Chains A and B, each alone.
Chain A
Amino acid sequence: MNEIIDGFVQAFQLIISLDPEVIEITARSLLISLAATAVASLVAIPLGGLIHFREFGGKRGLITIIQTLYALPTVVAGLFVFLLLSRAGPLGFLGLLFTPTGMVIGQAVLIIPVLAGMTLVALSGVKKTISDEIVALGATQTQAILTIIKEARFAIIGGIILGFGRAISEVGAAMIIGGNIRGYTRVLTTAIALETSMGNIALSIALGIILLGIAMVVTVALFLVQER
């Protein structure tokens, strides 16, 4: 119990004292996971839209696969990207293993299914009557689609928040692809794993509290965007 209290005290001290290493790790976590969320959004939201608005054979099966991949273990996503980026792998010539860019790719792979799936859910949630109505009012197909997207945007942003949350909290892919290199690929979650294995329990809890703190800031920021 004392260690949890110590953790809160230490988190407070680290934030107040602006410890340069903690700030650096926090900023890196935030940048990598935001970038991964951006990349994943650019792929997954149009993908979700395409699947929703087009009719094709195997659509139900594809949706099932996407939803199954919600459960993609972070270590497996990490290993998959590790094998791609390793010097012995197909993309080895890029030299991206053990780099922040590699970590962005890993986290993006991890959250694309969640984001695509949430986009599908969001679009399906728009009442059929709305699209029927605007078509009846003489809207073109493009206009109808954009109206549906507009109606669905809250739920899509909800999906983005969920994806960001999964990205910034995961440790498996970050550890395997980034390698937890100090000053280069060390992020909050891998730092927590290291400090725990070194026995610095209070510091681990402190870093966990900081992680939750920045997750809250990002969530609030996205809500503000949504409110506009």
Chain B
Amino acid sequence: MNMHFLSPGHRGMVMFLVTLVLGAILISGCTTTNPGQGGAQIPPTTQSPSLPPHNGQKLILATTTSLYDTGLLDYLEPLFEEKYGVDLLITSQGTGKALEIAKRGDCDILAVHSPDQEKAFMDGGYGINRRCFAYNYFIVVGPAGDPAGIRGMAPQEAFRTILGKGKAGNPGIFFVSRGDNSGTHSAEKNIWKASGYNYTSEVQRSGAWYIEAGKGMGETLQLASEKGAYTLTDEGTYLAYRGKLNLVPIIEEGDLLLNVYSVITVYAKNQPVEKITMANNFVNFLISPGIQAKIGEYGKEKYGKGLFIPMNGGCMRFECDCTTPASETTPSSSFPSLSSR
């Protein structure tokens, strides 16, 4: 193409395209700068040279919306980054999606809350060093009038009552489900199972009373509030949303409402050992006494009570490990997937 043939109008367009390309080069340059430094809540001292230099290592943590949306991980992130000089990149995805990303080798650490799904993940040889680090309780919330009359019941009995009255066509009885394969959705399914129902054949699509939102916890709460429905929620998201909802806690007690959060080092065959070691550092960081204390304090100022109860080494009743330092770098030979060969 002869450049001199270009009219001034053409030159304008060429210049514009050049500008766009420069933009493209700029952005690819940006990817090599230190991320995680620009947050308003991160003190500028994280860039001070007296701290361990960022060695450019990036560690991707995939976590669940109910854990991330409370702000806990944003609060812990700079503490970990300062201690180890790495960039901790946190993506919040919902437990089902987070586990899927981990299986594909796209993240280095998991922080999730769905024990059954986690066990299947561990049995598949995808993870090592699973440690529980905190818990809280799911709660059943609903309209203050409690149209199904479930206040004071155990979760199973309450679910049976809602289902019975809903299926019978009583007006104004609704239950909103996350319906998104999240940790909270798994917990809900466990309660249906414990109540004696087959979830897919007896609960799903059994009538207008059962609403599958397919959304995050915040949106699900809003939907329940609009419909005057019951729903199962983690306490943290409910507290964060409380002011905008016409929902009150109806049921807050019951073993099935226990919500245990675990951290897992993701294992992938071609993963460099430094990555695994650094991920193990994060596991050890979360179960360390100092950070456990910080987890217990988190949210007290804003909500009047802590959002998470740290394990503090006492997790016998949860049948999980919260004390052994994370040191494995490969799945132990006791894995079913390996020993069955």
In this assembly, does B106 line the interface, its C-beta being within 8 Å of a C-beta of chain A?
A: yes
Q: What per-residue 1/0 map shows which CB atoms of B44-69 lie under 8 Å from chain A?
A: 00000000000000001010010001
A104–B24 CB distance below 8 A: yes
Q: From B194-202, B214-222, B281-289, give the one contacting chain A.
A: B214-222
- Inter-chain contacts of A31 with B (CB < 8 A): 23, 26-27, 30
* Contact A35:B218 (CB < 8 A) given known A181-B91, A225-B16: no
A179–B91 CB distance below 8 A: yes
Q: From A57-65, A190-198, A208-216, give the one contacting chain B.
A: A190-198
In this assembly, does B338 line the interface, its C-beta being within 8 Å of a C-beta of chain A?
A: no
In this assembly, does A32 line the interface, its C-beta being within 8 Å of a C-beta of chain B?
A: yes
In this assembly, does A150 line the interface, its C-beta being within 8 Å of a C-beta of chain B?
A: yes
Q: Which residue of B lies closest to A99 (CB)?
A: B31
B27–A35 CB distance below 8 A: yes
B13–A225 CB distance below 8 A: yes
A19–B40 CB distance below 8 A: yes
Q: Smallest CB–CB gap between A192 and chain B, Å? A: 13
In this assembly, does A157 line the interface, its C-beta being within 8 Å of a C-beta of chain B?
A: yes
Those of B69-92 within 8 Å (CB) of chain A:
69, 74, 77, 87, 89-92
B12–A225 CB distance below 8 A: yes
Q: Smallest CB–CB gap between A150 and chain B, Å? A: 6
B24–A38 CB distance below 8 A: yes
Q: Smallest CB–CB gap between A79 and chain B, Å? A: 11
Q: Smallest CB–CB gap between B39 and chain A, Å? A: 5
Q: What per-residue 1/0 map shows which CB atoms of B203-219 lie under 8 Å from chain A?
A: 00000000000001111
Q: From B1-9, B158-166, B250-258, give the one contacting chain A.
A: B1-9
Number of A-B contacts (CB under 8 A): 140
Q: Smallest CB–CB gap between B60 and chain A, Å? A: 6
- Inter-chain contacts of A35 with B (CB < 8 A): 20, 23-24, 26-28
Interface size for B (C-beta < 8 A) is 55
Q: Smallest CB–CB gap between A161 and chain B, Å? A: 11
A180–B17 CB distance below 8 A: no
B104–A98 CB distance below 8 A: no
Task: Give the docked Cα–Cα distance between A39 and B26 (Å).
Answer: 13
* Contact A183:B9 (CB < 8 A) given known A35-B24, A87-B104: no
B31–A100 CB distance below 8 A: yes
In this assembly, does B10 line the interface, its C-beta being within 8 Å of a C-beta of chain A?
A: yes
B5–A143 CB distance below 8 A: yes
Q: What per-residue 1/0 map shows which CB atoms of A7-42 lie under 8 Å from chain B?
A: 000000000000111101000100110110111011
Task: Give the docked Cα–Cα distance between A153 and B268 (Å).
Answer: 50
A184 CB contact (under 8 Å) in B35, B92, B244: B35
Most buried by B among A19, A42, A97, A197: A197
B241 CB contact (under 8 Å) in A21, A160, A199: A199
In this assembly, does A169 line the interface, its C-beta being within 8 Å of a C-beta of chain B?
A: no
In this assembly, does A129 line the interface, its C-beta being within 8 Å of a C-beta of chain B?
A: no
B105–A87 CB distance below 8 A: yes
- Inter-chain contacts of A149 with B (CB < 8 A): 10
Q: Smallest CB–CB gap between A106 and chain B, Å? A: 13
Task: Give the docked Cα–Cα distance between A183 and B6 (Å).
Answer: 42
Q: Smallest CB–CB gap between B9 and chain A, Å? A: 6
Q: Smallest CB–CB gap between B221 and chain A, Å? A: 8
Q: Which residue of A lies closest to B216 (CB)?
A: A197
A198–B240 CB distance below 8 A: yes
In this assembly, does A226 line the interface, its C-beta being within 8 Å of a C-beta of chain B?
A: yes
In this assembly, does A101 line the interface, its C-beta being within 8 Å of a C-beta of chain B?
A: yes
B38 CB contact (under 8 Å) in A42, A100, A104, A183: A183
Task: Give the docked Cα–Cα distance between A194 and B216 (Å).
Answer: 10
* Contact A183:B39 (CB < 8 A) given known A97-B106, A101-B28, A197-B69: yes
B10–A150 CB distance below 8 A: yes
B27 CB contact (under 8 Å) in A32, A143, A198, A228: A32
Q: Which residue of B lies closest to A31 (CB)?
A: B27
- Inter-chain contacts of A156 with B (CB < 8 A): 13
A86–B104 CB distance below 8 A: yes
Q: Smallest CB–CB gap between A1 and chain B, Å? A: 14
Task: Give the docked Cα–Cα distance between A184 and B99 (Å).
Answer: 22
A38–B219 CB distance below 8 A: no
Q: Which residue of B lies closest to A201 (CB)?
A: B244
- Inter-chain contacts of A228 with B (CB < 8 A): 8-9, 11-12
Query: Can you offer 27 A-B residue contacts whose CB atoms are under 8 A?
Result: A28-B30, A31-B30, A34-B20, A35-B24, A35-B26, A35-B27, A38-B23, A42-B17, A42-B21, A86-B104, A86-B106, A87-B105, A99-B31, A104-B28, A157-B16, A179-B91, A179-B93, A181-B60, A181-B91, A183-B38, A184-B89, A197-B219, A199-B218, A225-B12, A225-B15, A228-B8, A228-B11
Leading 5 A-B pairs by shortest Cβ distance: A38-B20, A179-B91, A184-B35, A87-B105, A21-B40
A interface vs B, CB < 8 Å?
19-22, 24, 28, 31-32, 34-35, 37-39, 41-42, 86-89, 92, 97-101, 104, 142-143, 146, 149-150, 153, 156-157, 160, 179-185, 194, 196-199, 201, 222, 225-226, 228
